[in-house]
Amino acid sequence: MADFTEKYQQEIERLIKASVRDLQLQTELIDHCCCSIEEQLLEGHSFDDALSNTLHNLAPNGIHEIEEQVQFILTLKYLLQ
């Protein structure tokens, strides 16, 4: 079983920040990914496998897709008001 390390946290932050501009969304995604990866590490997965699983389950087409969907929903909400 691997421990969740600061190095893992930094790698997750780097990946999210490279794909997402919105700071609040970055924070939420980093937290979600860290929790998911930590859980998988406790189950015996390697960090690389846990990271890959988490990113694929969260956003199969890439993390940037989440920000695009959030922006679409917020724009739609604004237009419907």
pLDDT tens for the chain, 81 residues long, are: 578 899 999 999 999 999 999 999 999 999 999 999 999 999 999 999 999 999 999 999 999 999 999 999 999 988 898
Residues 6+ apart with CB under 8 A from 36: 50, 53, 54, 57, 58
Residues 6+ apart with CB under 8 A from 57: 36
- The H or E element spanning position 13 is helix 6-19
What gap in Å lies between CA 4 and CA 34, rounded to an integer?
8
Predicted confidence at residue 1, as pLDDT, reads: 57
Domain chopping of the chain, boundaries: 6-80
Predicted confidence at residue 34, as pLDDT, reads: 97
Predicted confidence at residue 78, as pLDDT, reads: 86
